[in-house]
Structure 1
């Protein structure tokens, strides 16, 4: 497929999605499916191939995040209903002050985001952000936007995230140097793209109604006995602790049993189920909740997640259609043919793959494999900076074929235009700021 044809098809598909949803208010699930099928047919594929492509992409997206959203919502509901989220939110507000909510959530996102995938961190910390915003009487975006910004930055530039570790291996970069450089870039970027940008967005985006997902966590009865802060914090952090311990155990030398236990704990869904059971025993039962009440609560809270999960799958299906139609390959080949500095080429390659596939992880791995063979001919280029430039490009745009786009839209109850500002704007700003710092470092290293 020629570059012109690829650009035309890609822009037409994305433009059609925006017009049908924003202008004609059609159901996003139907629109994503219809446009994905039309894109594949336009590229010369049969209807059977088009549907199979969509199903494959949707299956991959749902397989990786569907149960995570369900289990994470159940876990968050118990944390909220038991009073643990209120206890921790009030403690945070007492120490930081309501006016500093955005800074507190940015710091929480950075700490949690270091060892944890973006999807996991967002699903598990969203209830805390909703309740913290309610308790501090601040707009919900002042809590959510700094949180997602910090989580996204950590995913883009910090080991041990798989995409960055993959790029470090492909470029033969130094792990310790990338950790140091990543921290140098992460802190100022999180400040600029989280709390500072959140204040700008809140002033200009307009009012946001309470979404069904937000209402699910905010609608709660005051527990007869509020759990102590230590136990509340332990339960909230338990999934992260289990996943982190599992990753460490799986990487340490030892017997087969230790490795298998580490792999089990490091698997997100297993850690969530264990955390769910621990929360029942440590928080819900001491608060006087019966087994019937807990079971009914877990059943009822899944209602609002159904459409969110399907929409995430549809986003993955559309992304796969972009790949299988040939649009992704044509755009990536065009980036490689451009004559520019290696850092900008790594950034642009990753950004184009991100735009074409919607996946930051795929963008990092693909761009690194494309650029790596030319490293021997690029004298004086730091492989550590190539890792950072690739990571920066991998999160650019926050496009509509990124399942998180639709997940965030439904979690916050945003319009399509608001989602472009909150998610796409934040992601693009992060990528540009990280690239700018990377280029600045290249001038002094």
Structure 2
């Protein structure tokens, strides 16, 4: 087992903070989510406060000691900010460098010049799919959203028409295609063949991303017609700049984290020896934090220097880049706190125990279990690891292709209906300037389409191969 899968499974076996039965836990989850939605929509309370209060309410309804609920919430908030938060901060700095140097202008102007209005959604889904292959979803959002917002603004496109294809590309990679960490963990747990899973994953991902991206975005744009939020759009660089960075140098700077993380994933697959010096080296340089930090440092020379930036302007640029994301960091962190409260209350384990008695085909069972855990905990990773651990014994009698399909069924289920307990939900909401209802009608529906379409394709393939 990979180190990540061992850690995740170990976390799932921690003693719950409450002894509540299944019925009480189920009611507590529903009431906790209801409190969050009500506070945000009815009382217009900030999402950070709503998530905090909702987490405490969930613990109270589940009969957990308040001190343990607070510990779970703060632990989840801290771990989320420590992981995702640093990446968001580095991505924000890189985004500010791209904006102020004119590099982002160069990319947007080139895309607008080369792509026709009809092909733009397809262009965005292709870019997102390539960039999102080795990345955690949050990292991909940080890298892509500034480009999405500027393309929508300057090309006068509907934000949803451009944004949904980009999000679909990222999300499909997240759930279905190795070397993304989620599928890799499931492959390891189930004992599936990596090459076969990759081939079938790409085969399923292509029609899935087309349906959930460019095609669904037509309807999403009608349901939610909002402009790109000005507060999140990097401003056009001053015309007084000495010159703008070249398109190639700018693109290389953006893609550097992708290349480093993809290289790490490939080395992990080829070498497969945690003690090997080469693998240990790539484990460091391919770490998301180091990869993004390297991109920021390289950007000083490829973006800021050509634009005539001196040392004295760098500090101010970093400060201005971090300011707009303070609220996002708190919201995403609180979402992580709510998720951890759910997990520590034993909700995921409850679902696993209930599902043991379901008499249905293995692939459908794997999809349903992943769906249930995803809905309860908000974590695609937790859903993937938990479901893979439960159905792994079923793979013993499966063919190589069906074992791979089992992995993909789990991945598809892990993406189902992202809502208020998912950090990704709040990232999309804040970056796109949406309210909760609008986020559900676009992002949540898109995630559900991906999950259902991919799950159906898995079942269809199981009948013919």
Which bin holds the TM-score, normalised by the shorter protein?
Answer: over 0.9
Q: Paired residue for 2:123? A: 104
CA shift digits 1:11-43 (9 cap, x unpaired):
111112111101111121111111111211222
Structure-2 separation of matches of 1:344 and 1:245: 34
Q: Paired residue for 1:172? A: 191
Q: Paired residue for 2:257? A: 239
CA shift digits 1:236-273 (9 cap, x unpaired):
21221222234445565599653443122111111212
Structure-2 separation of matches of 1:379 and 1:286: 56
Indicate which of 243, 248, 252 corresponds to 1:230. 248
Mean Cα deviation higher: 270-279 or 343-352: 270-279
Q: Are 2:72 and 1:53 equivalent residues in the alignment? A: yes
Q: Paired residue for 2:91? A: 72
CA 82–3 in structure 1, closer or farther in 2 if over 3 Å, else same: same
Q: Paired residue for 2:332? A: 312
Indicate which of 23, 32, 35 corresponds to 1:13. 32
Mean Cα deviation higher: 126-135 or 23-32: 126-135
CA shift digits 1:354-409 (9 cap, x unpaired):
11211111111100101112444779991111111111111111021111111111
Mean Cα deviation higher: 185-194 or 80-89: 80-89
Indicate which of 218, 227, 249 corresponds to 2:235. 218
Flag structure 1 segments of 5+ consecutive residues without an equivalent. none
Flag structure 2 segments of 5+ consecutive residues without an equivalent. 1-19
5 Å-filtered alignment, 1:155-166, equals 155-166=174-185
Q: Are 2:310 and 1:293 equivalent residues in the alignment? A: no
Deviation at 1:6, TM superposition (A): 2.6
CA 273–379 in structure 1, closer or farther in 2 if over 3 Å, else same: closer
SS, match of residue 99 in structure 1: coil
Q: Are 2:82 and 1:63 equivalent residues in the alignment? A: yes
**Structure 2 length as normaliser, TM-score?**
0.90
Q: Are 2:389 and 1:369 equivalent residues in the alignment? A: yes
- Asked if the contact 2:93/2:321 (under 8 Å) is kept, the reply is yes
Q: Are 2:353 and 1:353 equivalent residues in the alignment? A: no
Mean Cα deviation higher: 332-341 or 194-203: 332-341
- Asked if the contact 2:149/2:228 (under 8 Å) is kept, the reply is no
5 Å-filtered alignment, 1:429-444, equals 429-444=449-464
CA 231–381 in structure 1, closer or farther in 2 if over 3 Å, else same: closer
Q: Paired residue for 1:205? A: 224
Q: Paired residue for 1:142? A: 161
Q: Paired residue for 2:111? A: 92
Structure-1 separation of matches of 2:442 and 2:410: 23
SS, match of residue 399 in structure 1: coil
CA RMSD, 1 decimal: 2.0
